[in-house]
Amino acid sequence: MCLGIPGQIVEITDADRQMAMADVSGVRREVSLTPVATGPLEDLLGQWVLIHVGFAMAVIDADEAAATLEALRGLGEAQETLEAMAEGQRALEGVQ
């Protein structure tokens, strides 16, 4: 499964290498803009992108970024719930 994380492009760090700084939920990461660079890199400043393994794979709008971030938060909560359920099941099996 491939997972793209939304990030907002906040700075061009190396135009020659098409690298930029993206803000991902308050954490800044350097990403390659090569897959989405169709014009001047400055046009991407402030844009939201889906980031996968250090590459901006697609430009998305702010609404899609917000919805994706919310879904990812939900997945994290779901994973915590599943882990708690599994732990509870293991405890029950140990009691029997």
Taken in order 40, 21, 67, 50, the sign of the CA dihedral is positive
**Using an 8 Å Cβ cutoff, are 13 and 19 in contact?**
yes
Show the domain range for 39.
5-95
When divided into structural domains, the chain yields a total of 1
- The model's pLDDT over 41-52, given as tens digits with 9 standing for 90+, comes to 999 999 999 999
We report the CATH number of the domain holding residue 18 as: 2.30.30.140
Per-residue pLDDT of the chain (96 residues; tens, 9 = 90+): 567 889 999 999 999 999 999 998 888 999 999 999 999 999 999 999 999 999 999 999 999 999 988 888 888 876 777 677 678 777 878 765
**pTM as predicted:** 0.78
| Residue 34: both structure tokens together | 């090569």
pLDDT at 82: 66
Burial readout 76-86 (b: 16 or more C-beta within 10 A, e: otherwise) = eeeeeeeeeee
| Residue 74: both structure tokens together | 């939900």
